[in-house]
Amino acid sequence: MKTFYRLDMSRVTFREYSFDNSWLLTPLVALFKLLRLQLPGSSDDPPVESLAPFEVEETELPAEICARFEPLTRKFAELGFSRPIYHQGGLGVSSYFGVDSVSVHI
């Protein structure tokens, strides 16, 4: 089962927020935090419990996606990486939908 988590961006620290934003926005961020408003932003990691429900076989991917991954997959195989594991899906409340690939080096 695909489990998504809602991120509470009002709990982000000033330090975490400063990684992606200018220090000039600090007063605005302070106001948002004081009023406990949701700060605009996203996580680099998908807010899910596990990536396993998103795994798909290469044959399930659209042909144009396979064509874009093929040169990279071949190059990674030459460098000693295993066959890639593909993940396809959206990220819950986000509008993101995409395909990611993970290869393990042997």
Q: What is the pLDDT along the chain (106 residues), one digit of tens a residue?
A: 566 667 677 777 778 777 777 778 788 878 887 888 776 666 666 667 788 888 889 888 888 888 998 999 999 999 999 888 888 876 554 445 567 777 777 6
Task: Report residue 38: phi and psi, to 5°.
Answer: -70, 125
What is the C-alpha separation between 2 and 16, in angstroms, rounded?
27
Is 0.75 surpassed by the pTM of this model? Answer: no
What is the C-alpha separation between 46 and 98, in angstroms, rounded?
12
Residue bearing tokens 């690939």? 101
Parse the chain into domains and list their residue ranges: 1-48, 50-106
Pairing between β-strand 97-102 and β-strand 85-90 as defined by DSSP bridges: antiparallel
Of the candidates 63, 56, 47, 45, the one whose C-alpha atom is nearest the C-alpha of residue 85 is 56
Name the token pair of 13. 């620290």
